[in-house]
Amino acid sequence: MWQGERRMSEKMRQEAKFIFGNEELLAEITWIEGDACYDIRFMDPNTGWQNSNPGSSRSGWYYQDSESNLNHNSLVNAIHQWDDWSEHLSWEDGGVDVFRFEWDGKTYEGETDAEGNREYKTLTRII
């Protein structure tokens, strides 16, 4: 085997960061070179790597600050709605892709609570 050559069974790994304001979700993507299948795991900073659901990034833990909760949940919702985000990865072993989101300051979506507040801020990806 050449020194720079990889074995087909060696796992490739990269990270993706999803950022909105002060909120950041980190995902680890692993795959085997030449294989179309890949694995995604989102990081829960309290317990470690979880599963492919970005909502697992908190394991049911919530901020006491309701604005931080709203921002985090809005980022999770934006990732859920962005069905083809994995098609925007660099697929570079050791790489880190960063995806930033913004809010227009007024648009909300989702269910309305008893106080009339909507569930999520409507985020758009900054290209």
Q: CB burial class (10 A; 0-12, 13-18, 19+) of residue 68?
A: middle
Structural domain boundaries in the chain: 11-126
Q: Which residue has the tokens 């925007």?
A: 88
> For residue 64, what pLDDT is reported?
66
Q: How confident is the model at residue 9 (pLDDT cuts 50, 70, 90)?
A: low
Tokens standing for residue 62: 């919530």
The more confident residue out of 111 and 56 is 111
Cα gap 41→84, rounded to integer Å: 16
Cα gap 37→42, rounded to integer Å: 17
Write down the pTM of the prediction.
Answer: 0.83
- Residue 8 scores a pLDDT above 70: no
